[in-house]
Structure 1
Amino acid sequence: MQPDCLLAEGERRCRRLLAGATAWLCARPAAAAVLVPLCSVRGVPALLYTLRSSRLSGSRKGDVSFPGGKCDPTDQDMVHTALRETHEELGLSVPEEHVWGILRPVHNRQKASVVPVLAGVGPLDPQSLRPNPEEVDEVFALPLAHLLQAQNQGYTHFCRRGHFSYTLPVFLHGPHCVWGLTAIITEFTLQLLASGAYQPRLASSEGPPIG
């Protein structure tokens, strides 16, 4: 499937493939959820990213991320967490019916589960968004065609106690480097949307202890 056809032709297929996991994962507890916003920027399919505010505390400040955050006791489920956090961070309201499903959860250094929620948000101008400056420094989109080009795909090997432990994807040559949990979720998304066009070259012997 070509990138310019993904948004038009991929939704029904993705919803079908994700349906079982979504029903199972949506009701299970998790520490946090992020929204993976699949949008169209000037007619080009893309993923929307944020640059976390440098004023935040913790090790992830200034990193590229998908909008999202910790679950609130008032959230009905993981989908509501992702949608609520997206609205709080970006002022972007995504109707629940635009959610395609839940991708494979990832885990941070503390082994806490982070649930990625894939949604089609339609045509979007990232510059028109008004992100919360306390949480987000910048919003940008990377076209799927860019992410699918081999020259924009990298990887990093990690060692533990002097021996190879795992390899993580990295996506390069955009406004900012996409790495860590966000790169793993990006890879999951590309494997779903463009399984024939995206062939990850990475192997991992253990789960990455990243945050």
Structure 2
Amino acid sequence: MTLAQRLRAALEEGHRRADLIPLSEVRDPRIRGDIPLAPAAVLVAITDRAEPGLILTERSTALRKHAGQIAFPGGRVDPTDADEIAGALREAQEEIALPPAQVELVGISDRYHTFTGFDVVPVLGVIPPDLPLRAQESEVASWFEVPLAYALDPANRVRREVEFAGALHHYYEIFWEERRIWGITAAILANLSRRLGHDHIAA
């Protein structure tokens, strides 16, 4: 089986376990009640290597929101996008010059609702290794590749707590070399780890 076929089979099996991930893991814990959510999508681009990698970006420090944070390529889904998949592919092309035709689609993982009002759809895809990717400087300071096995391994993920509005809330951190992966990106990776069978949530 190809890498894309193996990932697709694991993702489909993971989604058949409907009770695997509780609501608290797919919604920013700071959200109270119902809030309006705008559609957004990110591309979880996995390199087709013997040891697959994961493409992540470091956001520009000049951005107003989430400056300097580690993120997947992606953003708001435009009205001209056919769907979330089209939005994720367009954003990846704009941010890191990843041609949509080079992405073999695998499927969609768990949506994540953000405190800033986005309904984020993670779109998984396999890409050839060593593409000549290029960061779009106005949005992305740089891009890098982390081993997929490392990013999904629960042993490399730390659960932290922070107080907000008088209550304790948790978030995840993953450290790779000198980079700190946290927030939405780490939450999506934690959920993907569970869907692909790397991890589970204790009852």
TM-score, length basis structure 2: 0.77
What SS does the aligned partner of 2:128 have? Answer: strand
The aligned counterpart of 2:170 is: 167
Higher-RCO chain (CA-CA 8 Å, sequence separation at least 6): 2
Is this contact kept in 1: 2:73–2:92, CA < 8 A?
yes
1-side partners of 2:8 and 2:155: how far apart? 30
The aligned counterpart of 2:144 is: 140
The aligned counterpart of 2:41 is: 33
- CA distances 1:68-125 after superposition (whole Å, capped 9, x unpaired): 0111111000000000000011111133871111111111113321111111113235
Matches within 5 A, 1:119-134: 119-124=125-130, 128-134=132-138
Query: Identical aligned pairs, as a percentage?
Result: 33
Q: Does 1:188 align with 2:196?
A: no
Give ranges in structure 2 of 5+ residues lacking alignment: 19-36
The aligned counterpart of 2:116 is: 110
Is this contact kept in 2: 1:39–1:120, CA < 8 A?
yes
Is this contact kept in 1: 2:102–2:127, CA < 8 A?
no
RMSD: 3.0
Q: Does 1:63 align with 2:69?
A: yes
TM-score, length basis structure 1: 0.74
2-side partners of 1:111 and 1:55: how far apart? 21
Q: Does 1:47 align with 2:54?
A: yes
Give ranges in structure 1 of 5+ residues lacking alignment: 22-28, 204-211
One-letter code of the match for 2:199? Y
2-side partners of 1:144 and 1:6: how far apart? 16
